[in-house]
């Protein structure tokens, strides 16, 4: 069983959902971001780590800002692997997922990239602009190295596409719960709950994590109560880093702990 699958199984036993926390690697600098990721890891169940790409079309202004800061600080793909390796050296044991865009993986070399993930202890890979039709080669490599391939499904995804996606996915399915880019929203969209229930009809053999527009404990609780196995929070964490920079540790930790309370049912 992969580390991601184990984590979901363990949480299920405790009647809890997973809190998946995202931050952009290299924001505000590679060194500071390694420390911030370690802090965040204390209060979330899974860490999703973004490798910055210059043209992040699926990201809203908050994460675009983080990516700009990371790239201005000179962050490259090797730095990101180094941060992941350091998290493992520092004793972080929760699952780590890399999230990026396809050109980053392609230019590193697909096999070299996945082998390196496996070597430093990255458990899963999510490529925002790689739809299932173009992913066969990368999925094959990931299987070989035991790295989970996480795919997105969206409110626009058809049943036919969901079935295609389920054949290539492992670890968990990430439901993009509303149309648009990443970013915190004040209120949880009704569509999010509706879409969560819709997706659960099809996604039965993998955990379903719901993301986009989730930024408060009550949002987290609502999607877990609707039956999701996890909630992904990104921009809300990134906003804290945007404000506090390298000193964001305490606030990341305490905010994550508040969000985490929303995952505990009963």
Partner 1 sequence: MRYPTRRGRFGRYGGRYIPEVLMPAVEELDEAYRKFRNDREFKRELDYYLREYVGRPTPLTYCANMSAELGFKVYLKREDLAHTGAHKINNTLGQALLAKRMGKRRIIAETGAGQHGVATATAAAVLGLKCEIYMGTEDMERQKMNVFRMRLLGAEVHPVSSGSRTLKDAINEALRDWLTNVTTTHYLLGSVLGPHPYPMMIRDFQSVIGRETKRQILKHEGRLPSAIIACVGGGSNAMGIFYPFLDDTEVELIGVEAGGEGIETGRHAARFAAGREGVLHGTYTYVLQDEYGQIATTHSISAGLDYPAVGPEHALLREIKRAKYYYATDDEALEAFHYLSEKEGIIPALESAHAVAWLLKNADKFDKGDVVVINLSGRGDKDVEAVAKREGVV
- Give the residue numbers marked as catalytic: 48, 59
Cβ-contact 44, 257 below 8 angstroms? no
Q: Which is nearer to partner 1, 83 or 152 (CB)?
A: 152
Letter string b/e over residues 87-98, b meaning 16 or more CB atoms within 10 A of that residue's CB = beeeebebbbbb
Piece in contact with partner 1 (CB under 8 A), picked from 20-28, 64-72, 83-91, 251-259? 64-72
The partner residues of 24 in beta bridges, in order of sequence, read 50
Q: Which is nearer to partner 1, 6 or 159 (CB)?
A: 159
Calpha distance 53→149 (Å, rounded) = 19
Task: Give the contacts of 67 (CB within 8 A, at least 6 positions apart).
Answer: 24, 27, 50, 52, 53, 54, 56, 59
The partner residues of 48 in beta bridges, in order of sequence, read 22, 97
Task: Give the contacts of 218 (CB within 8 A, at least 6 positions apart).
Answer: 188, 262
Counting residues that bind partner 1 (by CB under 8 A) gives 40
Q: Which is nearer to partner 1, 102 or 145 (CB)?
A: 102
Binder of partner 1 out of 5, 39, 71, 257 (CB under 8 A): 71
Residues in region 145-164 near partner 1 by CB under 8 A = 151-158, 161
DSSP, collapsed to helix, strand or coil, labels residue 124 as strand
Rule CB under 8 A: is residue 104 a binding residue for partner 1?
Answer: yes
> What would the x/- binding string for partner 1 be over residues 34 to 63, using CB under 8 A?
-------------------xxxxxx-x---
Binder of partner 1 out of 111, 140, 181, 191 (CB under 8 A): 181
Q: Which is nearer to partner 1, 133 or 225 (CB)?
A: 133
Residues in region 185-224 near partner 1 by CB under 8 A = none
The upper half-sphere exposure of residue 76, i.e. CA atoms within 13 Å in the direction of its Cβ, equals: 4
Rule CB under 8 A: is residue 137 a binding residue for partner 1?
Answer: no
Binder of partner 1 out of 90, 119, 134, 159 (CB under 8 A): 134
């Amino acid at each position: 069983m992969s580390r991601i699958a184990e984590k979901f199984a363990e949480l299920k036993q405790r009647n809890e959902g997973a809190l998946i926390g995202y931050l952009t690697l290299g924001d505000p600098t590679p060194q500071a971001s390694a420390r911030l990721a370690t802090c965040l890891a204390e209060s979330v169940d899974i860490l999703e780590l973004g490798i910055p790409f210059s043209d992040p079309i699926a990201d809203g202004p908050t994460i675009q800002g983080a990516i700009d800061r990371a790239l201005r600080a000179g962050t490259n793909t090797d730095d990101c692997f180094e941060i992941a390796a350091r998290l493992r050296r520092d004793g972080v044991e929760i699952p780590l997922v890399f999230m990026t865009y396809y050109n980053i993986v392609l230019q590193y070399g697909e096999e070299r990239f996945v082998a390196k993930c496996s070597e430093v202890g990255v458990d899963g890979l999510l490529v925002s602009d790689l739809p299932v039709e173009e992913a066969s080669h990368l999925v094959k490599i990931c299987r070989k190295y035991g790295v989970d391939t996480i795919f997105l499904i969206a409110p626009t995804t058809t049943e036919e596409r969901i079935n295609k996606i389920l054949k290539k996915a492992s670890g968990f399915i990430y439901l993009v719960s509303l149309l648009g880019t990443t970013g915190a929203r004040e209120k949880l969209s009704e569509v999010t709950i509706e879409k969560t229930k819709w997706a659960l009809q099809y996604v039965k053999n993998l955990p379903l994590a719901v993301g986009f527009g989730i930024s408060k404990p009550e949002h987290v609780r609502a999607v877990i109560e609707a039956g999701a196995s996890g909630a992904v929070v990104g921009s809300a964490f990134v906003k804290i880093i945007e404000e506090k920079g390298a000193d964001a540790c305490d606030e990341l930790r305490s905010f994550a702990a508040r969000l985490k309370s929303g995952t505990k049912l009963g």
